[in-house]
Amino acid sequence: MRFSASLKENHVFRRLYTKGESCANRYLVLYCRKNGSQRNRVGLTVSKKLGHAVVRNRIRRRLREVYRLHEAEFLPGYDLVVVARSRAAEASFDALTAAYLSAAAKLHLLRENEQ
């Protein structure tokens, strides 16, 4: 991720859950909040309810790759947290991509010319 960093601190995740905007669809929930910098910070949450470690890591890799491929389309200066839902385990990569980008569009996170 060239223009972004990863989110790892628990207090930042909790702040996003309580004070951030959110958008949900059948595969994921996307939380966002301005961070005051010129970079995006992205965090992923995949619960143990979704399956064993192999399944959870596959979902994480796919979501990270969706963001990486479309990173230039996102506006800078936001903290993003993606929470995977149970249907994400069986979803195709194209379905995850469409869900991720539609949630980002609803939250006005994409550049105007890309929408």
Residue pair 79/35 in contact (Cβ under 8 Å)? The answer is yes
- How far is it, in rounded angstroms, from Cα 51 to Cα 103? 24
- Give the model's pLDDT for residue 2: 77
3-class DSSP state for residue 45?
A: strand
Instruction: Give ∠ CA 69-57-38 in degrees, rounded to 5.
Output: 40
- How far is it, in rounded angstroms, from Cα 100 to Cα 40? 15
Examine the pLDDT at 114 and tell me if it is beyond 60: no
Q: State the pTM of this model.
A: 0.92
- How far is it, in rounded angstroms, from Cα 22 to Cα 29? 7
pLDDT band at 110 (very low <50, low <70, confident <90, very high): very high
Give tens-digit pLDDT for 5-51.
999 999 999 999 999 999 999 999 999 999 999 999 999 999 999 99
Residue owning tokens 């996170």: 109
Give tens-digit pLDDT for 51-89.
999 999 999 999 999 999 999 999 999 999 999 999 999
